[in-house]
Structure 1
C-alpha cells in the first residue's frame, strides 16, 4: 500500500498515522476483474456489517491495470459508485412532499437522492461530465429554471440556488458554479448535441450574470457578495454568532464564489464570441479581467501565501480581511486561473495538511462539531491534488493521492467526509464528535477519486477541440505504488463515443528518487504525435495511446515542499476561541475624550489580541483586555466600529472575530417608525409594523425627515422574516430602497436583503445603503419591488417546493417592516 507517512518522512511523534486497516485481494483475473475489499476500521452506521465488499468491473466502463491491486480495485469501486449514483428518478422531502420526479440525473449520494447545484457542478467538473455527458447535461438543465408564469419582467432562465442559509439567494450566491459543470460537459458533446447545448446554456449564463450584477455585485470593490461555496453551515466556518445572524454571511464576500464568478464571466465571453455576440464578448471579458484583479487585491494574503476565505461584513459597508483559509477556495483560485505562477507555488506549499490529508478550513475551531470544521472532504482533496499537479508539487500530489486511496479503502466507499485528526468517518469520543452528517458514495467524492486517477496520474485533459494525456508520475508513485510494473494502463476510456486505451511506459524503478517524470514521446495508433492536444476529429473509433516517460533530470533543488502539521498539538491546528465584549466594563465607551475598549477571553496570557477599526487593523499583539484608541478623539464626527480577534503567538492561528461594536449617541440615529409611513399593501399591526406586506406592487414611503449635519449615512430597514427557518428555505426577502429628496431626485439607492430568521417576533436590521445627506434638505425613504428584487421563489422549478413558503404558482417576497433607521457615519470627504 502507498503509505505517504513513510514517503514524506512523518516523524512518529503523534503526527503520524497507524498502518492501514484494510486489504484488497484480486479474486477474478482477466480482461474484466473482480476484487474483495475488507477492513477492520469502524464503519459509519456499521455499513456494511460484515466489513467486506466485492467489486466486479464492468466491461462497458474504463478500468486500470497498474500492477497494484489496491489502485485498480479502488478505481473499479469509484466506477461502480458512479454507476450507482446514475439514476432515473430523484426525490427530496422538501419537493412535492417527497414524491419522485423522473429525470436521468446524478443523485448526490447514498443518503441524498436529489440533485443539488453545487454538488452536481463540482462533480461534473471533476470527472462525471466525461463519465456520461448526456446525463450530465440533463442534470444541469434540471438545475436551471425559467421564472414562474405569474412573474412579470426580470431575467428569465437562470441557474438555481438551492435551499440554504436565511432562505437561500442572495444570502447564498454560489449557484454560479453551475457554469463550471456546464463548460466541462460542453467538452464531451459534439455536433448538433453541442450546438443545442450551447444554445441552451448561453442565455442561462447571461441571465444569471445580469441578475447577480444587480443584486450581489459590489461596484465599490468589484467583488461579489454571498456565502462560501460548499462551506454552507454558518457557524462551521463563520463566527459562531452568525449561526442566528445570517445577514452577515450575505454581506460578506468569499474567494470561492468570486473565483467561480470569474470563470462564469470568462466562459460567457468565450461563448458570446462563438455565437457572434460581440457586445457581450467585450463586456463580459472586461468584467472578468476586473474581477480577477479585485480578487488578487482583496483576498490574497501575501504574508501567509494563501487566499483568505472571506471578507467579513455585518452591514455591507466595512469589510474585515480575516486570516482564515479554506482548501476549495485555494484550489479554485489555482485551477480557474485566478492565481499567477508565483501564487500557485506559494498556495500549495503553504496550506497545511496532516497524516490523513488536508482539512477543508484552517485553522480549526475548538467548540464546533466535526463537519466542515476539522474535516477532510475527498472532493476538495481531489481539487487540491489537481492544483498541486498544476503547481508541479510532487509532495502535495503524493499526499493527496495517498489520502484519497487510504480513506476510501479503509471505509469501503468514497465517503462524504472524515475527521481531519483521526481520519475516521465517525468520531464519538473526545471533545468534538462527527462528522455530523456523512454518506457513502457521495457523488463529488466519487467524482474526485475518478479525477485523481484519470486527470492527475494519467494526466487526461480535454478542451473544446481535443484530448491529451500528460501523466504525472512522481518518484513516490513510481518506486512505491507502481513498483511491480513497467507499464500502467487506463483502458476502455470513453471520449465522444470513441474508446481509448492508454499505456504509460515508466522509467526503471529506482532510476530517480525525487521529482516527476517527463514525457519523452507520445504515439497514437502507432504514429508519433506532438505533445499537446489531439483533435477529436483525428481519433478513430478505438485508439491506442502509447506514452513514454523518462526519469527527471536536475529537478532536486527546485522541488517544492508541503506544510505538514502535527495534529497532536492543539494550538498548532486550532485557533483560540473568539473574544467577547465586556459589557460590565462598558465594552466601547468614552473615557477622557477617547474611546476605551473592554473585552474578555478565557486564555489571557496565552493569546495576543488584534483590534480592527472600520475594517482596518489599528492595534496588534496586545496582551491585555483593555485598550484606548488614542486616534478616536473625533468620535462625535466619525463613527468607529471595532472588532477584536485572538491569536496564538506560537502558531499564528487566529480566532473568529467578535461582533463589531461602535460608540454612537442617540442623536446620531434617526428612527422612522412604520406607523408614520404611507403604504400600498399590507396592514399596520399594533402601531408597530406592517405585516402581510411584500407583494410585487406593495410600497412603503416614510414621512419627510432632515439630518442636523451633512454627512455619510447608512440607511437600514428594521424587519422580521419568519417565513422559514434560519438554515434553509427559499424566501429571503429582497426589496429596492431609494432615498429621495422631497423635491424628487434619488440621492441613494440599493437593494436591502432581509433573510429568514425562523420567527416573525424577531427583529433585525438589513444591510446598509450608504448615502450622502445634506442638512436642511427634506428626504424620504421609499421601499418597493422592481424586476431585480428576486429570491428563489420566483423560479418555476420551485413551484414543487413544499417544505415551507415559496412554492406554488406565485413568488413569496413578504417581510414585516417596523422602521427605517438612518445612522450617521462620517463627514462627507
Structure 2
C-alpha cells in the first residue's frame, strides 16, 4: 500500500472531484421519500399507532410514536425526527458510570448520558448538546446534568470557589485543555430557574477569574489551551505532541477563545441584571478578546480563521469547522468574514469534514471524518449568512447519516459516510457510538431550527433550501412541527425563483404560527469542491549550523521557516538567519504543490541558556535589564498523556532586587520521562539578584468532585499537584513573548 491506502481506496479518493464536479449536492431525500447513497438505501414505513419502521442497510428498526411530531410528505423525515427522540429517551438515565470514576460503579444522576458506549456525563458533550436542542426538550434534566459538572474545592489551602470541571484533556486536563467554559454555552439556555441562574453566576465569576490568572496571555490578549472537542492530539496537532503536550498548552485555539468570549458576554449580561459593578470589566474583556481573535486567527491568504496558532502566535495552516461555526454564530466574525470563512471551508459529497486538511498518517476519527453535531453548528452558521448551498449540504449529510446508520452516530468517515472503513492501521472511525448525545441534539436542532426556523426566543425564521421543497412538501401545501404546545406550519411558495425559502409573512391562528414562504436568491458562493484532501507531510526538526553570517538552517525541500513563532520566509535548501540576543528556536513547515503548509515540525533551539540545577529555591543575576524566559526540566508521571486531573500547576514567585515581586503560572503536564515545562516570562533590572521559588497553584484534582476519580492519581486519596523538578532554565525572552 502507498500511504496506507488500498488501490480501490486511492481510486475512490481520486474520483471524488469527478463525482461532485459541477454539482451543489444531490438531494438527501428523493421525491419518493428514500435515501440512496453509494449503493445503500433507507426508507420509512408508518404504523397505525403513530410509530415508524426504518428500513436500513443493517435491518429494520421500530420507532415508537413520540411527543414531538412533524407532519410532512416524507415518512422518512417524519420518522427520523421520532428516531432522534427515541435515541434521546435511551440517553435519559437515572444513573451514570465510567471506569475512571468510583471504580466504574453506578453514580445516581437523573442526567443525559453521552451515548451507548459512553454512559457518563462529559462537560463538552453535554454542554454542546444542551445548547443545540436539549434545553428545549427536558430543561430539568439538562440543569441536573450541568450541575453534575460543577464542583467546589476540597483542598483547604487552595482558593475556594465554584468551578466548572475540565473532566478530560491532554496532559492531565486543565490548563492544557481549557474548553470547560463551554458549560456556560449550555447554561445560558436555562437561566429562567433562579437557583440555577445563581449557581451559574457563581461558577462564571470563579471559573473566569481562574482562567484569567492561569491561561490568559496578556501580550496577545488570548486564552491558551487545546482546541475544543478536538482532543486527540496527534490527529490535529503535530505528531510530536503525542508525547509532549507543552506546545498545546502554550498554543491558542479558535474554538476555545470564542467560548471564552461567549462566557465573558454572559458574565457581563448577568452582572448587569444583578447591578454588579463587574459588568463594565466583563464587557471590556469580551470586546478586547473579540478584537484579539480577529487580529491573530484570521488568515487572509486562505480567507478563513485558523484552528489554532502556536506559541508566540505562530500561524498554523490548519482549520476546523466547529471553531469557524462558533466564530460566525457568536458574532466574533463580522458579516464579510463570516461569509468568506464558510465559503472557503471545503466540502465533500458526504458532508463537511471537521478538520482540514486531513492527515495522511492518521486513522479516521477527527481526521477524515464528519461529526453530525459539528455539521449542526455549521448549519447554524450558514443560516446566519444565508449560505443556501451550505445549509442544504449540512442538512443532507445529517439526515443521510442517521437514516443509513439507523441511529444518530457519533461520527462517519468523510468520503463514504460509513460508520467504519477497513484500511489496516488507518481504519476508522476508531471509536463510534450509536445515539451519541450531541449527534442526537444536532439532528433535533436540524429539524427544529434548520427546517422550521424556530429561534431561541420562539420566533420563526425559516431558511429552507429549495432542494428540500419537493421531498418535504410533495403535493401538499403545508408542513408542520408540533413543539411544546404550539404548532409551526410552513406554507409552500406560489412560485420558486431562487435557492432559499424564507418567510414572506406569518400570522397566528390560535396555537399555530403559519408562515408563508417565498423563494429568494441567496447569492451565496457554491461549495468549495477543489480543495486537496491531505496536507503535506510534516518535516523533522531542522539542522541549524553556527556560521560567521548567522544560523544556517538546512532543509531537504521547499517550506517555510519560523523563528520563535514568527514567519521568516520561504526556504528551499537552506536559509541563513542573523543571530539574536536571545535563545532562538527554529521550526519548519513543508509546502505542498497547492501552496498548503504542513503542520510545523519539532523545533531546534540555539543560543545561550542558564541552567540552575535542583528543586529550588534558586538565585540568578541578570547581566542586563530585560525580559527573560524561565522554564523547568521536570517529570510528571502521575497520569497518562491523554487524560487525568493532575497536570502540575505552579506559581513562580520571583523577587528581583530593585523590582516589584512577580508571580507567573507554570504548567508541568503529564510527561513521558524528563521534559520542559511551559515558559514564564519575567522582567529583571540590570545586575539584579533574583530569587525564584515555585509555589503551589491549582489543578483539577483540588476539586471536591474528583474524590470520585479513581482512574489515576489525584482522586480518592487526595489532590496531587506535583512534579519532579530537576533544574530551572533562564534565557533572554524573544520578542513578543508573553508578559507576566
Shorter chain as normaliser: what TM range? over 0.9
Deviation at 1:547, TM superposition (A): 1.5
2:636 to 713, 717, 721: 721
Deviation, structure 1 residue 430: 6.3
Q: In structure 2, what is the Cα distance between the partners aligned to 1:235 and 1:671?
A: 31
8 Å CA contact retained: 1:22, 1:37:
no
Tell me the secondary structure at the aligned position of residue 415 of structure 2.
coil
CA contact (8 A) 2:497 2:519 kept: no
CA distance in 2, matches of 1:369, 1:391: 34
Q: Contact 1:117–1:143 (CA<8 Å) still a contact in 2?
A: yes
Deviation at 1:162, TM superposition (A): 0.7
1:100 to 99, 103, 106: 106
Residue 645 (structure 1) shift: 0.6
Q: Any residues of structure 2 matched to 1:182-221 within 5 Å, and which?
A: 182-186=187-191, 189=192, 194-221=193-220
Of 73, 80, 89, the residue aligned with 1:74 is 80
* CA distance, structure 2, for counterparts of residue 66 and residue 7 of structure 1: 30
Where in structure 2 are the equivalents of 1:325-344 lying within 5 Å?
A: 325-344=319-338
- 2:718 matches 1:810: yes
1:137–1:185 Cα contact (<8 Å) kept: yes
Structure 2 equivalent of residue 577 of structure 1? 537
Q: Secondary structure at the match of 1:364?
A: coil
Q: Identify the residue that residue 568 of structure 2 maps to in structure 1.
A: 618
Q: Paired residue for 1:284, among 279, 282, 285?
A: 282
Contact 1:97–1:802 (8 Å) recurs in 2: yes
Alignment of 1:21-60 (within 5 A): 21-29=40-48, 33-40=50-57, 51-58=59-66
User: Does the alignment pair 1:365 with 2:359?
Assistant: yes
2:734, 2:110 → 1: CA distance?
A: 57
**Counterpart mapping for 1:741-780 below 5 A:** 741=656, 743=657, 745-746=659-660, 748-757=662-671, 762-780=673-691
CA distance in 2, matches of 1:371, 1:517: 35
Structure 1 residue 335, shift from structure 2 partner: 1.0
Which SS does the other structure have where 2:416 is aligned? coil
Measure the CA separation in 2 of the matches of 1:819 and 1:441: 49
| CA apart distance, 1:321 | 1.1
Structure 1 segment 42-191 matched on structure 2, within 5 A: 51-58=59-66, 61-148=67-154, 150-186=155-191, 189=192
What residue number does 1:645 align with?
Answer: 589
- Is 1:563 aligned with 2:561? no
Cα distance in 1 between the residues matched to 2:683 and 2:736: 7
Residue 302 of structure 1 aligns with which residue?
A: 300
Distance in 1 between residues matched to 2:334 and 2:230, nearest whole Å = 25
- Cα distance, 1:224–1:155 mapped onto 2, change above 3 Å: farther
1:476 aligns with 2:467: yes
Q: Deviations over 1:9-34 (max 9, x none)?
A: 569xxxxx9446122232314xx522
Q: What CA distance in whole angstroms lies between the structure 2 residues aligned with 1:581 and 1:673?
A: 27
Deviations, residues 314-367 of structure 1 (Å, cap 9, x unaligned):
xxxx23111210000000001111111111111221110101001001100100
Equivalent residue number for residue 680 of structure 1: none
Instruction: Note if contact 1:130-1:185 (Cα within 8 Å) is conserved in structure 2.
Output: no
1:593 to 549, 572, 579: 549
State the Cα distance separating 1:380 from its structure 2 match.
0.1
1:627 aligned onto 2:626: no
Cα separation, partners in 2 of 1:376 and 1:826, compared to 1, 3 Å: closer
Partner of 1:682 in structure 2? none
CA deviations 1:249-294 (Å, max 9, x no partner) are: 11111010000000000011101111221x1111111111111111
Q: CA deviation at 1:431?
A: 7.0
The 3-state SS of whatever aligns with 1:461 is coil
Q: Which runs of 5+ in 2 are unaligned?
A: 1-18, 27-35
Matching residue within 473, 487, 500 for 1:501: 487
1:171-223 deviation per Cα after TM superposition (whole angstroms, max 9, x unaligned): 1110000000001223xx4xxxx222211211011110111110011111110
Q: Distance in 2 between matches of 1:80 and 1:327?
A: 28
- Aligned: 1:659 with 2:602: yes
Cα distance, 1:6–1:782 mapped onto 2, change above 3 Å: closer
Once the two structures are superposed, the pairs formed by residues 6-21 of structure 1 within 5 Å of their partners are 8-9=23-24, 18-19=37-38, 21=40
SS of residue paired to 1:659: coil
Quote how far apart the aligned CAs of 1:575 are.
0.5
Aligned match for 2:610, one of 663, 666, 670? 670
In 2, Cα distance between the equivalents of 1:9 and 1:328? 22
| 8 Å contact kept, 1:672–1:819 | yes
User: TM-score of the superposition, structure 1-length normalised?
Assistant: 0.83
Asked whether the equivalents of residues 173 and 257 of structure 1 are also in contact (C-alpha less than 8 Å), the reply is yes
How many angstroms apart in 1 are the aligned matches of 2:627 and 2:157?
Answer: 35
Structure 1 residue runs of 5 or longer lacking an equivalent are 12-16, 41-49, 527-542, 567-571, 675-689, 691-699
Counterpart mapping for 1:323-402 below 5 A: 323-402=317-396
Deviations 1:282-319 (A, max 9, x none): 11111111111111111111221211111112xxxx23
Contact 2:216 2:224 in 1 (8 A): yes
Match of 2:692 in 1: 781
Cα contact 1:242–1:249 (8 A) shared by 2 = yes
RMSD: 2.1
Deviation at 1:452, TM superposition (A): 0.4
CA distance in 2, matches of 1:469, 1:442: 28
Is the Cα contact below 8 Å between 2:173 and 2:644 reproduced in 1? yes
2-side partners of 1:167 and 1:474: how far apart? Answer: 44
1:516-568 Cα deviation digits (max 9, x unpaired): 22322222234xxxxxxxxxxxxxxxx2222222233xx36x333221247xx
Task: Give the Å deviation of 1:228.
Answer: 0.6
Any conservation in 2 of the 1:645–1:654 contact (CA below 8 Å)? yes
State the Cα distance separating 1:747 from its structure 2 match.
5.4
CA distance in 2, matches of 1:657, 1:712: 26
1:573, 1:7 → 2: CA distance?
Answer: 18
Contact 1:109 1:443 in 2 (8 A): yes
SS in 2 for 1:110: coil
C-alpha deviation, 1:708, in angstroms:
3.7
Q: What is the alpha-carbon distance in structure 1 between the residues aligned to residue 639 and residue 122 of structure 2?
A: 20
Distance 2:524 2:261 in 1: 30
Whether contact under 8 Å (1:589, 1:663) holds in the other structure is: no
The equivalent residue for 1:293 is 291
Query: Could you state the TM-score of these two structures normalised by the residue count of structure 2?
Result: 0.92
Structure-2 residue corresponding to 1:45: none
| Alignment check: 8 A CA contact 1:710 1:828 kept | no
Gap change, CA 1:564 and 1:431, over 3 Å in 2: farther
Q: Secondary structure at the match of 1:357?
A: coil
